[in-house]
Amino acid sequence: MHPPHPLGIGTWRLGEAPSKAKQEIAAIQAALDHGLTLVDTAEMYADGGSEELIGAAIKGRREQCYLVTKVLPQNASSKGTRAACERSLRRLGTDVIDLYLLHWRGRHPLAETIQAFRQLVADGFIRRWGVSNFDLADMRELAALEHGDECAANQVYYSLSERGIEYDLKPWLDRQGIVTMAYCPLDEGRLPRHRGLQAIAAGYGASAGQVALAWLVSRGNTWPIPMTSSAERAAENAGALALSLSPATLAELDTLFAAPEQKVRLKIV
């Protein structure tokens, strides 16, 4: 099961302030209203508050959502993974998670976490599993383990201005059929303010953020998850799905934001 559109909504930093809950719920619901059914969160975000916020936002609309959440590495033992998943399910107000990720590598053996994920799939608690913040060496180690080839996605920092994964990680993921989930696809708000990108966007009657998101979608096998607490911005992000960038524009973007020519350390925030 995949979301109908590759573009979704991220919820890092949402759920931290009760005074903003109404606005943040409206942003999530606006994303759903505009077809952005992929909703990404983690047990770490706001110490579970983000999951609770999403649970409130999608109440009565669960069938519209493709839910992704993550287990913290310190919880990723056999028993700990299950307990964390059960807590996330309660907070989200659902009986199944579409995609469950290991947030980053920790002290628990990957083989143990894989087995815990597979049991959760067998028990119907999750549909697919994957990882986050894994570089190529980590992915190769994972793939060499029994059932490691069942990994569905790797969520990493990826944007027009942070293209390091294109040197070796993304080509490898593409060959393996593993989805690249792109967090911080607007480079933490820097890309919408980029003057060169704004000039290109003007030619399309679009925003710089829309062009940055459309570029990621054009890379194939890539799911960008921009975070927003604004219903208006969620609607704007959705507009990127209707944007088709010409070969000339793609070449211009390559000039503005060059692809890496050597290995770049994976950016993690």
List b or e across 127-160, with b for residues whose CB sees 16 or more CB atoms inside 10 angstroms.
bbbbbbbbbbebbeebeeeeebeebbbbbbbbbb
CATH T-level fold of 8-188+216-241: TIM Barrel (3.20.20)
pLDDT of the residue at 1: 64
Where do runs of H (alpha helix) occur along 93-194?
110-122, 136-144, 169-176
Q: Kindly report the pTM of this predicted structure.
A: 0.96
pLDDT of the residue at 225: 98
- Strand arrangement, sheet containing 153-157: 8-10, 38-40, 66-71, 97-102, 126-132, 153-157, 179-183, 222-224
Distance (Å, whole) CA 91 – CA 69: 11
Tokens of 49: 């508050």
Judge whether 45 counts as a catalytic residue: yes
- From 45, 66, 100, 158, active-site residue: 45
Q: Which residues of the chain have pLDDT under 70?
A: 1
pLDDT of the residue at 104: 97
Q: What is the DSSP letter of 6?
A: S
pLDDT of the residue at 204: 97
Beta partners for 101?
70, 130
